[in-house]
Structure 1
Amino acid sequence: MRLSVILPAKNEAQGLQQTLPALRALFPAAEIIVVDDGSTDATASVAAAHGATVLSSPYPMGNGAAIKRGTRAASGDTLVFMDADGQHDPALIPQLLARLEQGYDMVVGARNAQGQANAGRGAANAFYNRLASWMTGHKVADLTSGFRAVRAERFREFLHLLPNGFSYPTTSTMAFFRSAYPVAYVPIPVAARLGKSHIRPIRDGLRFLLIIFRIATLYSPLKLFAPTAFAFLLLGLGYYGYTFTTEHRFTNMSALLLSAAVIVFLIGLVSEQITGLTYLAARAERKPE
């Protein structure tokens, strides 16, 4: 098994000084790729000094973009993604690889409540996990963890689906579940990051809603749209019952709510077909290889 370890890094010189020596000591034969996402510090030079392959961007493109660049450049048949800020312990990688050898296609390092950056992000991630578990019918222990091991050929099937921002873990996890590729979780401790976080609570607030919709559209849109349509239907029927009883007429609001129920359901149905075609096209693209 040839191993490639990919670390997206933006101004992570301090973290790399700790992470790279540990990685090299544990996996001397592994390919280590540091994707420098437009850093303004010594990230690239530190990575090169420790023998890593460095892919540098002239300006920041995003965490997901770094993952895609690193994946395209990797030669290993097994890929490990981890943060460059010192939060992920390289000594835990063998646990992920051991689970891959049991027949899984993706193994994710799952953080507990103590491993979250703060209470707000912990609550948001817990919500993501519950939503994803409901959508997939499988327990999702950590939807947004960036510490994971995957089979390269499987992961590359979905490269075109990955966003350039921070939600690549969400997208890849749901894509694997949607394609019936088995996913496992390994509990991991997480250390305090070295350096400054790139997450901005206010700026990233919209990510909360976007990730919810991404979860739905990547797996089964009808699971989101059908309950919404049913809610509009109940509201429409309820309001019609009220106005018929009190005013003996069918109102415009009742018509609007019932029409919304039909429209939302049809949008979900079309979205379901588009999602299926997207995954079918992804599989077809990989067949010639």
Structure 2
Amino acid sequence: MPVAVVIPAYNEAATIAGIVHRARRQVETVIVVDDGSGDDTAAQAEAAGAQLLRQPANQGKGAALWRGMGAALAQGADAVITLDADGQHCPEDMPKLLTAARRQPGRLIVAARLERRERAPGLRRFANGMADFWISWAAGYPIRDTQSGFRLYPAAFLRAASAPHNGRRGFAFESALLIQATRLGCYPATVAIETIYHPQGRPSHYQPWRDTLRIVATVAWELLGRGLYPIGLLRSLRLLPLPVSDHEALVKQQDTGGKA
């Protein structure tokens, strides 16, 4: 299965080269979208062997992801794995996503930080839990770790998905993709990965209060347009039967797969 990795990056010169090197040991095609960085992120990524795309100015994570996804599809990728550039994701976990994709073809795979969650700050865990509740409600399906940017997207889903609109060009776009996926029958499946948190690393671009409130506002607008979607709420709470099991593609930490 031809797979491409897409890494959005904004001022990640300290970490991007190492992430690209490690990702290329797993998947041959690695695309870095430099989102208007003011440091030498672009040079570091290109020197490490990534295909480089540059945004003329900082446009937000969603816009960078969409551009990279389009480039991957144009090169014939059957799936796109998205990965953050700050070292919070472990590229060596990619085989777990590929294993899940082979077991459950056509499903969006989320690498959920379920192991050692206590490593993350309490505020971050609370904000993520809040986002999980609202996004699962709007999706009508329980989704774990909706704020994980480490995912595998089937190409067929991306071709049917909508581009980020105004107000969703940042982190909210990834939330919108999860909702779109369930509406298109591409129900997200979960891969369990370890929580990685570097207290001495650069501050996250994700601001728990600001970005979570933006996501909640986006989701609330979706719910209002569907009459608050009470069936979706009941399904997200597992009080009604689900279209597919949310445990079918759970892949444990010890599971591995081969290079794509």
Interval of TM-score (by shorter of Structure 1 and Structure 2): 0.7 to 0.9
Match of 1:247 in 2: none
Q: Which has the higher contact order (CA 8 A, sep 6+)?
A: 2
Match of 1:6 in 2: 6
Q: How many residues align?
A: 222
Aligned to 2:145, the other structure's residue is in SS state coil
2:7–2:31 contact (8 Å) kept in structure 1:
yes
Aligned to 2:30, the other structure's residue is in SS state strand
> What amino acid is the match of 2:31?
I
TM-score of the superposed pair, with normalisation by structure 2: 0.77
C-alpha spacing 1:214/1:146, structure 2 compared with 1 (3 Å):
farther
Shift of 1:195: 2.7
> What amino acid is the match of 1:83?
D
Q: How far, CA to CA, are the matches of 1:215 and 1:146 in structure 2?
A: 21
1:109–1:187 contact (8 Å) kept in structure 2:
yes
Runs (5+) with no aligned partner, structure 1: 227-289
Match of 1:283 in 2: none
Q: Deviations over 1:81-112 (max 9, x none)?
A: 01011111111111111111122421001123
RMSD: 2.4
Match of 1:240 in 2: none
Runs (5+) with no aligned partner, structure 2: 232-260
Larger Rg: 1
Match of 2:217 in 1: 210
1:116–1:122 contact (8 Å) kept in structure 2:
no
Structure ranking higher in helix proportion:
1
Query: Superposed, which structure 2 residues align to 1:1-289 within 5 Å?
Result: 1-27=1-27, 30-74=28-72, 75=75, 76-102=77-103, 103-112=105-114, 114=117, 117-161=120-164, 163-193=168-198, 194-201=201-208, 203-204=210-211, 206-214=213-221, 216=223, 221-223=226-228
1:100–1:150 contact (8 Å) kept in structure 2:
no
Shift of 1:135: 4.1
Shift of 1:65: 0.4
Q: How far, CA to CA, are the matches of 2:97 and 2:212 in structure 1?
A: 31
Shift of 1:209: 3.6
Shift of 1:213: 1.6
Q: Which stretch of the first structure deviates more once superposed, 63-72 or 201-210?
A: 201-210
Aligned to 1:93, the other structure's residue is in SS state helix
1:171–1:214 contact (8 Å) kept in structure 2:
no
Q: How far, CA to CA, are the matches of 1:44 and 1:20 in structure 2?
A: 12
C-alpha spacing 1:202/1:23, structure 2 compared with 1 (3 Å):
closer
Shift of 1:123: 1.2
Q: How far, CA to CA, are the matches of 2:82 and 2:222 in structure 1?
A: 21
Match of 1:284 in 2: none
TM-score of the superposed pair, with normalisation by structure 1: 0.70
Shift of 1:118: 2.6
Q: Identity percentage over the alignment?
A: 33
C-alpha spacing 1:175/1:42, structure 2 compared with 1 (3 Å):
same
2:134–2:216 contact (8 Å) kept in structure 1:
no
> What amino acid is the match of 2:18?
Q
Q: How far, CA to CA, are the matches of 1:51 and 1:142 in structure 2?
A: 30
C-alpha spacing 1:70/1:115, structure 2 compared with 1 (3 Å):
farther
C-alpha spacing 1:125/1:49, structure 2 compared with 1 (3 Å):
same
Shift of 1:211: 3.7
2:21–2:49 contact (8 Å) kept in structure 1:
no
